[in-house]
Structure 1
Amino acid sequence: MFENVRADYQAHGRKWGAQGFWVMLVYRFGRWRYGIRPAILRKPFSFLYKVMFKLVQVVAGVELPCEVTVGKNFVIDHFGGIVISGYARFGDNCRIRTGVVVGLSRVEDPCAPVFGNNVDIGAGAKVLGRVTVGDNVLIGANSVVTRDVPSDSIAVGLPAVVKPRRQPAPSSQAS
């Protein structure tokens, strides 16, 4: 747990006051408590987690349940209005901003999006349902994604239109 907390601290710019870091602290604590055995010893830690989860939800406006699978360097860039389903999964180096919703498209189908590595989700974006987002993807602000997004793409608009990312121009070297 402490290695993950150190990495989260680094990912949030080494700022103890970053509310995204607070959210990650509570998230890491919630994941850590599952390892406490026997279950009777875990009960007070679970109660503490639920109180901290609600506090962070009210103060920071971020709902990141400990059931979510989060990779390394997960950054909550701007807090407020962020809701993430417990069924969601994120790869490494993902970044989310204010107003992002990652969740179910229908209550009858409890399956939330799965994100690859290096995914950047813009402010106000909604990613809903049985969706797979590949690696190196940008999701534009206020976009609504309800279909798969392949790797190396950009998803923008309502509903989101997927476009390939521009590759950086090869550097030309004179011989």
Structure 2
Amino acid sequence: MSDSIIQKDFYRESGRYLSHFQILKKCYSPNLHYIYLFRKAQRYYKIPVIGLFYKLLLRHYQILYGFQIYPETEIGEGLYLGHWGHLVINPKAKIGKNCNIAQGVTIAQSNRGKSEGVPVIGDEVWIGPNAVIVGKVTIGNNVLIAPNAYVNTDVPSNSVVIGNPAVITSNINATKQYINNKV
């Protein structure tokens, strides 16, 4: 994992590639600050001293900002957290590139039943505020998950998901104008 992933995450917010100094200046924003620390913790995760330092620092900011995303979580480049606070992602979940995740989202493991396991989320997925994705489900590419949706079933690519229980509608332009500055 290199600093180029951090560059791509910050590109999603600004629409331009930034110098290291410009990235650090943008870290006044809690969501960008957390992404920066998350990527550093991922990069150094298995290096004893520096890895421990970044894990402890990340843990501090998890509590401060309300993000519960662990360094072992696989998240592709171009992650965008639109707002900060109350976000829970299971460390075994897999999330593709150019994904937007809003506040109040839960991406969780199911411990029993036919959907026992964790979600796998594709590329260019927009997840609205307070949405819940739970269990061994696959979310395709170019999917919009509306605010407050409850998803416990597979969702094909090019779809919009609304409601509880989830109602899935095919839409080739599902995330058009929702996912900007793609990398």
Kept after mapping to 2: 8 A contact 1:23/1:64: no
User: Normalized against structure 2, the TM-score is what?
Assistant: 0.81
**Partner SS, residue 12 of structure 1:** helix
Deviations 1:26-70 (A, max 9, x none): 2211221145xxxxxx32223212221222112211011111111
Higher Cα Rg, which structure? 1
Deviation at 1:110, TM superposition (A): 6.7
Contact 1:69/1:90 (8 A) holds in 2: yes
How many residue pairs get aligned? The number is 162
Matched, 1:24 2:35: yes
Inter-partner Cα distance in structure 1 for 2:109 and 2:117: 6
- Pick 1 or 2: higher relative contact order, CA cutoff 8 A, min separation 6: 2
| Post-superposition offset of 1:106 | 1.7
Aligned to 1:125: 131
Aligned to 2:17: none
Corresponding residue SS for 2:94: coil
Question: Structure 1: any 5+ residue segments left out of the alignment?
Answer: 36-41, 169-175
CA RMSD of aligned residues (A): 2.1
Match of 2:104 among 99, 105, 123: 99
The sequence identity of aligned pairs, in percent, is: 30
Any runs of at least 4 consecutive aligned residues in structure 1 with deviations exceeding 4 A, and if so which? 107-110
**What CA distance in whole angstroms lies between the structure 1 residues aligned with 2:51 and 2:65?**
20
Q: 1:25 to 1:110 in 2, by over 3 A?
A: farther
Match of 2:145 in 1: 139
Q: Does residue 7 of structure 1 match 2:2?
A: no
Give the equivalent residue in structure 2 for 1:68. Answer: 73
Residue in structure 1 matched with residue 162 of structure 2 by the alignment: 156
Q: In structure 2, list runs of 5 or more residues that go unmatched.
A: 15-22, 175-183
Q: TM-score, normalised by structure 1?
A: 0.84
